[in-house]
Amino acid sequence: MSEVLKIENVRKYFGKFAAVDDISFSLKEGGIYLLVGPNGCGKTTLVNCISGIYNPEEGNVYYRDADITGEAMYKISRRGLVRTFQIASPFLSLTTLENMLVAVPKNAGENIFLSLFKPSWMDSEVSAVKQASELLGVLGLKHVWNMPANTLSGGELKLLEIGRALMCGAETILLDEPVGSIDPKLCHQIFSHVLRLRDELGLTFLVIEHRLEVAAQYADHVFAMDRGKLLTEGTAEEVFEDPRVITSYLGE
Ligand SMILES: Nc1ncnc2c1ncn2[C@@H]1O[C@H](COP(=O)(O)OP(=O)(O)OP(=O)(O)O)[C@@H](O)[C@H]1O
Ligand SMILES: [Mg+2]
Protein backbone atom coordinates (compact mmCIF):
# COMPACT_ATOMS: atom_id res chain seq x y z
CA MET A 1 0.00 0.00 0.00
CA SER A 2 1.33 3.40 -0.88
CA GLU A 3 1.85 6.25 1.54
CA VAL A 4 -0.81 8.97 1.22
CA LEU A 5 -0.03 11.34 4.05
CA LYS A 6 3.25 12.06 5.76
CA ILE A 7 4.02 14.60 8.46
CA GLU A 8 7.56 15.41 9.48
CA ASN A 9 8.64 17.17 12.67
CA VAL A 10 5.47 19.26 12.91
CA ARG A 11 5.37 21.91 15.65
CA LYS A 12 2.51 24.27 16.40
CA TYR A 13 2.82 26.91 19.10
CA PHE A 14 0.21 28.97 20.91
CA GLY A 15 2.43 31.74 22.25
CA LYS A 16 5.41 29.90 23.73
CA PHE A 17 3.44 26.72 24.37
CA ALA A 18 4.00 23.90 21.85
CA ALA A 19 0.55 22.28 21.53
CA VAL A 20 2.04 19.97 18.87
CA ASP A 21 5.67 19.27 19.60
CA ASP A 22 7.76 17.61 16.88
CA ILE A 23 5.35 15.00 15.55
CA SER A 24 6.17 12.73 12.62
CA PHE A 25 4.11 9.87 11.17
CA SER A 26 2.72 8.53 7.95
CA LEU A 27 -0.53 6.97 6.74
CA LYS A 28 -0.85 4.29 4.07
CA GLU A 29 -3.70 4.28 1.57
CA GLY A 30 -6.78 2.37 2.73
CA GLY A 31 -5.77 2.32 6.40
CA ILE A 32 -7.96 3.18 9.37
CA TYR A 33 -5.83 5.10 11.85
CA LEU A 34 -6.76 6.14 15.34
CA LEU A 35 -5.32 9.17 17.13
CA VAL A 36 -5.73 8.95 20.90
CA GLY A 37 -4.54 10.79 23.97
CA PRO A 38 -5.84 12.64 27.03
CA ASN A 39 -7.81 15.89 26.79
CA GLY A 40 -5.68 18.82 25.71
CA CYS A 41 -2.75 16.72 24.41
CA GLY A 42 -2.90 18.33 20.95
CA LYS A 43 -4.94 15.93 18.79
CA THR A 44 -7.29 18.52 17.30
CA THR A 45 -4.43 20.99 16.83
CA LEU A 46 -2.48 18.35 14.92
CA VAL A 47 -5.46 17.56 12.66
CA ASN A 48 -5.87 21.31 12.10
CA CYS A 49 -2.21 21.51 11.01
CA ILE A 50 -2.81 18.71 8.50
CA SER A 51 -6.07 20.05 7.05
CA GLY A 52 -4.83 23.63 6.60
CA ILE A 53 -6.69 25.37 9.43
CA TYR A 54 -3.30 26.06 11.06
CA ASN A 55 0.06 26.61 9.43
CA PRO A 56 2.61 24.84 11.66
CA GLU A 57 5.62 26.94 12.69
CA GLU A 58 7.94 24.04 12.00
CA GLY A 59 7.89 20.83 10.00
CA ASN A 60 6.17 19.68 6.84
CA VAL A 61 2.97 17.98 5.72
CA TYR A 62 2.99 15.94 2.51
CA TYR A 63 -0.07 14.58 0.72
CA ARG A 64 0.57 12.16 -2.13
CA ASP A 65 4.15 13.46 -2.32
CA ALA A 66 3.14 17.13 -2.63
CA ASP A 67 4.31 19.47 0.12
CA ILE A 68 1.03 21.00 1.35
CA THR A 69 2.42 22.74 4.46
CA GLY A 70 0.58 26.02 4.96
CA GLU A 71 -1.65 25.54 1.92
CA ALA A 72 -5.19 26.96 2.19
CA MET A 73 -7.76 24.48 3.46
CA TYR A 74 -9.91 24.66 0.32
CA LYS A 75 -6.89 23.76 -1.82
CA ILE A 76 -6.03 20.84 0.45
CA SER A 77 -9.59 19.52 0.29
CA ARG A 78 -9.51 19.75 -3.51
CA ARG A 79 -6.56 17.37 -3.36
CA GLY A 80 -8.84 14.86 -1.59
CA LEU A 81 -7.69 15.42 2.00
CA VAL A 82 -10.77 16.57 3.89
CA ARG A 83 -11.54 17.24 7.54
CA THR A 84 -15.16 16.75 8.55
CA PHE A 85 -17.01 19.52 10.34
CA GLN A 86 -20.03 19.60 12.58
CA ILE A 87 -22.97 20.80 10.55
CA ALA A 88 -23.47 24.52 11.24
CA SER A 89 -26.83 25.48 12.71
CA PRO A 90 -28.35 27.17 9.59
CA PHE A 91 -27.83 23.90 7.69
CA LEU A 92 -29.61 21.84 10.32
CA SER A 93 -32.97 22.92 8.96
CA LEU A 94 -32.05 21.60 5.49
CA THR A 95 -32.76 17.98 4.65
CA THR A 96 -30.12 15.25 4.54
CA LEU A 97 -30.04 15.33 0.73
CA GLU A 98 -29.83 19.13 0.61
CA ASN A 99 -26.92 19.01 3.06
CA MET A 100 -25.10 16.63 0.73
CA LEU A 101 -25.73 18.89 -2.27
CA VAL A 102 -24.60 22.14 -0.63
CA ALA A 103 -21.30 20.45 0.23
CA VAL A 104 -20.30 20.27 -3.46
CA PRO A 105 -17.31 22.64 -3.93
CA LYS A 106 -17.01 25.81 -6.06
CA ASN A 107 -20.49 26.96 -5.06
CA ALA A 108 -21.98 24.48 -7.47
CA GLY A 109 -23.85 23.10 -4.50
CA GLU A 110 -25.64 26.35 -3.93
CA ASN A 111 -26.78 26.35 -7.54
CA ILE A 112 -27.96 22.80 -7.20
CA PHE A 113 -29.88 23.71 -4.10
CA LEU A 114 -31.55 26.66 -5.79
CA SER A 115 -32.28 24.49 -8.79
CA LEU A 116 -34.41 22.21 -6.65
CA PHE A 117 -37.04 24.86 -7.23
CA LYS A 118 -36.48 25.07 -10.99
CA PRO A 119 -38.45 22.99 -13.46
CA SER A 120 -35.49 21.43 -15.26
CA TRP A 121 -32.19 20.17 -13.88
CA MET A 122 -28.87 20.40 -15.65
CA ASP A 123 -26.80 17.26 -16.21
CA SER A 124 -24.30 18.22 -13.50
CA GLU A 125 -27.12 18.68 -11.03
CA VAL A 126 -28.64 15.33 -11.91
CA SER A 127 -25.28 13.60 -11.49
CA ALA A 128 -24.70 15.30 -8.10
CA VAL A 129 -28.11 14.13 -6.90
CA LYS A 130 -27.33 10.63 -8.19
CA GLN A 131 -23.95 10.61 -6.44
CA ALA A 132 -25.51 11.95 -3.21
CA SER A 133 -28.19 9.31 -3.22
CA GLU A 134 -25.66 6.51 -3.86
CA LEU A 135 -23.51 7.76 -0.98
CA LEU A 136 -26.53 8.01 1.31
CA GLY A 137 -27.13 4.34 0.48
CA VAL A 138 -23.54 3.37 1.43
CA LEU A 139 -23.85 5.41 4.66
CA GLY A 140 -27.20 3.83 5.59
CA LEU A 141 -28.95 7.22 5.49
CA LYS A 142 -31.34 6.65 2.61
CA HIS A 143 -34.38 6.37 4.88
CA VAL A 144 -33.75 9.89 6.23
CA TRP A 145 -32.90 11.55 2.89
CA ASN A 146 -35.84 13.94 3.10
CA MET A 147 -35.69 14.60 6.85
CA PRO A 148 -34.35 17.91 8.21
CA ALA A 149 -30.85 17.34 9.61
CA ASN A 150 -31.98 18.55 13.06
CA THR A 151 -34.17 15.45 13.37
CA LEU A 152 -31.26 13.02 12.83
CA SER A 153 -29.59 11.14 15.70
CA GLY A 154 -26.03 12.02 16.80
CA GLY A 155 -24.64 9.04 14.92
CA GLU A 156 -26.61 9.83 11.75
CA LEU A 157 -25.33 13.41 11.86
CA LYS A 158 -21.74 12.14 12.07
CA LEU A 159 -22.38 9.92 9.04
CA LEU A 160 -23.85 12.91 7.20
CA GLU A 161 -20.66 14.86 7.97
CA ILE A 162 -18.70 12.04 6.34
CA GLY A 163 -21.14 12.12 3.40
CA ARG A 164 -20.54 15.84 2.93
CA ALA A 165 -16.78 15.24 2.89
CA LEU A 166 -17.31 12.57 0.21
CA MET A 167 -19.33 15.00 -1.90
CA CYS A 168 -16.21 17.22 -1.86
CA GLY A 169 -14.24 14.35 -3.40
CA ALA A 170 -12.58 13.19 -0.17
CA GLU A 171 -10.17 10.26 -0.44
CA THR A 172 -8.55 10.74 2.96
CA ILE A 173 -10.87 11.76 5.78
CA LEU A 174 -9.86 13.37 9.08
CA LEU A 175 -12.58 12.75 11.63
CA ASP A 176 -12.53 14.57 14.97
CA GLU A 177 -14.91 13.07 17.48
CA PRO A 178 -16.29 15.47 20.08
CA VAL A 179 -15.81 14.18 23.62
CA GLY A 180 -18.48 11.94 25.03
CA SER A 181 -21.25 12.94 22.66
CA ILE A 182 -21.74 9.52 21.12
CA ASP A 183 -22.77 6.34 22.91
CA PRO A 184 -20.95 3.04 22.23
CA LYS A 185 -23.76 1.68 20.02
CA LEU A 186 -23.57 4.71 17.70
CA CYS A 187 -19.81 4.53 17.77
CA HIS A 188 -20.01 0.93 16.46
CA GLN A 189 -22.50 2.08 13.83
CA ILE A 190 -20.18 4.84 12.62
CA PHE A 191 -17.10 2.63 12.55
CA SER A 192 -18.89 -0.13 10.67
CA HIS A 193 -19.64 2.45 7.96
CA VAL A 194 -16.08 3.72 8.06
CA LEU A 195 -14.95 0.13 7.44
CA ARG A 196 -17.41 -0.24 4.58
CA LEU A 197 -16.24 3.02 2.96
CA ARG A 198 -12.66 1.85 3.21
CA ASP A 199 -13.53 -1.51 1.65
CA GLU A 200 -15.86 -0.21 -1.08
CA LEU A 201 -14.22 3.12 -1.97
CA GLY A 202 -10.64 2.58 -0.77
CA LEU A 203 -10.73 5.60 1.54
CA THR A 204 -8.14 6.32 4.24
CA PHE A 205 -9.25 7.52 7.70
CA LEU A 206 -7.53 9.28 10.57
CA VAL A 207 -10.00 9.29 13.46
CA ILE A 208 -9.76 11.02 16.84
CA GLU A 209 -11.89 8.92 19.12
CA HIS A 210 -12.36 8.80 22.86
CA ARG A 211 -14.24 5.50 22.98
CA LEU A 212 -11.06 3.47 22.87
CA GLU A 213 -12.63 0.13 23.72
CA VAL A 214 -14.94 0.43 20.70
CA ALA A 215 -12.67 2.16 18.21
CA ALA A 216 -9.74 -0.18 18.83
CA GLN A 217 -11.64 -3.03 17.18
CA TYR A 218 -11.66 -1.20 13.87
CA ALA A 219 -8.27 0.49 13.76
CA ASP A 220 -5.38 -0.93 11.75
CA HIS A 221 -2.92 1.31 13.55
CA VAL A 222 -3.03 3.62 16.58
CA PHE A 223 -1.05 6.77 17.38
CA ALA A 224 -0.97 7.83 21.03
CA MET A 225 -0.17 11.44 21.92
CA ASP A 226 0.67 13.01 25.26
CA ARG A 227 1.47 16.66 25.96
CA GLY A 228 2.04 17.52 22.31
CA LYS A 229 4.27 14.55 21.57
CA LEU A 230 3.79 11.20 19.91
CA LEU A 231 4.17 8.78 22.80
CA THR A 232 3.99 5.56 20.82
CA GLU A 233 2.31 3.88 17.83
CA GLY A 234 1.39 0.36 16.80
CA THR A 235 -1.55 -2.04 16.81
CA ALA A 236 -4.38 -1.21 19.23
CA GLU A 237 -3.23 -4.02 21.52
CA GLU A 238 0.38 -2.83 21.58
CA VAL A 239 -0.57 0.78 22.25
CA PHE A 240 -3.20 0.16 24.92
CA GLU A 241 -0.95 -2.24 26.82
CA ASP A 242 1.91 0.26 26.82
CA PRO A 243 2.41 1.40 30.43
CA ARG A 244 3.21 4.94 29.23
CA VAL A 245 -0.18 5.17 27.51
CA ILE A 246 -1.98 3.80 30.58
CA THR A 247 -0.17 6.35 32.76
CA SER A 248 -0.95 9.24 30.39
CA TYR A 249 -4.65 8.38 30.51
CA LEU A 250 -4.97 7.58 34.18
CA GLY A 251 -2.38 10.00 35.53
CA GLU A 252 0.71 9.15 37.55
N1 LIG B 1 -6.51 28.50 19.65
C2 LIG B 1 -5.82 28.18 20.75
N3 LIG B 1 -5.14 29.13 21.45
C4 LIG B 1 -4.42 28.80 22.54
N5 LIG B 1 -4.30 27.55 23.02
C6 LIG B 1 -4.94 26.59 22.37
C7 LIG B 1 -5.74 26.83 21.20
N8 LIG B 1 -6.25 25.65 20.76
C9 LIG B 1 -5.82 24.72 21.61
N10 LIG B 1 -5.04 25.25 22.57
C11 LIG B 1 -4.36 24.52 23.65
O12 LIG B 1 -3.52 23.55 23.03
C13 LIG B 1 -3.58 22.32 23.74
C14 LIG B 1 -4.05 21.23 22.79
O15 LIG B 1 -5.42 21.44 22.48
P16 LIG B 1 -6.23 20.45 21.51
O17 LIG B 1 -7.57 21.04 21.34
O18 LIG B 1 -5.42 20.21 20.30
O19 LIG B 1 -6.28 19.13 22.38
P20 LIG B 1 -7.09 17.78 22.12
O21 LIG B 1 -6.11 16.67 22.29
O22 LIG B 1 -7.83 17.85 20.86
O23 LIG B 1 -8.09 17.76 23.38
P24 LIG B 1 -9.59 17.12 23.50
O25 LIG B 1 -9.39 15.64 23.65
O26 LIG B 1 -10.10 17.73 24.75
O27 LIG B 1 -10.37 17.50 22.28
C28 LIG B 1 -4.50 22.55 24.93
O29 LIG B 1 -3.70 22.87 26.04
C30 LIG B 1 -5.33 23.75 24.52
O31 LIG B 1 -5.73 24.49 25.63
MG1 LIG C 1 -9.89 17.81 20.38
pLDDT at site 180? 54
Identify which of 12, 14, 208 to mutate to test ligand 1's pocket (most ligand atoms within 8 A of the CB): 14
DSSP run (H or E) holding 231: strand 229-234
* pLDDT exceeds cutoff 80 at 97: yes
pLDDT at 109: 47
Q: What is the set of domains in the chain, with CATH numbers? A: 3-80+171-250 (3.40.50.300), 85-154 (no CATH)
Q: What is the structure's pLDDT at 8? A: 98
For ligand 1, say whether the CB of 136 is within 6 Å of any of its atoms: no
Alpha helices (H) in the chain, listed in sequence order? 43-51, 73-78, 96-102, 108-115, 123-138, 154-167, 184-201, 212-215, 236-240, 243-250
> What pLDDT score does 160 carry?
94
Q: Indicate whether residue 37 lines ligand 1 (CB < 6 A).
A: yes
Residue 115 pLDDT class (50, 70, 90 cuts):
low
Tell me the per-residue pLDDT of 160-176, one tens digit each, with 9 for 90 and over.
999 999 998 999 999 98
**Residues 221-236 pLDDT 10s:** 999 999 999 999 999 9
Percent of the chain with pLDDT over 90: 68
Q: Is the CB of 12 under 6 A from ligand 1?
A: no
pTM over 0.85: yes
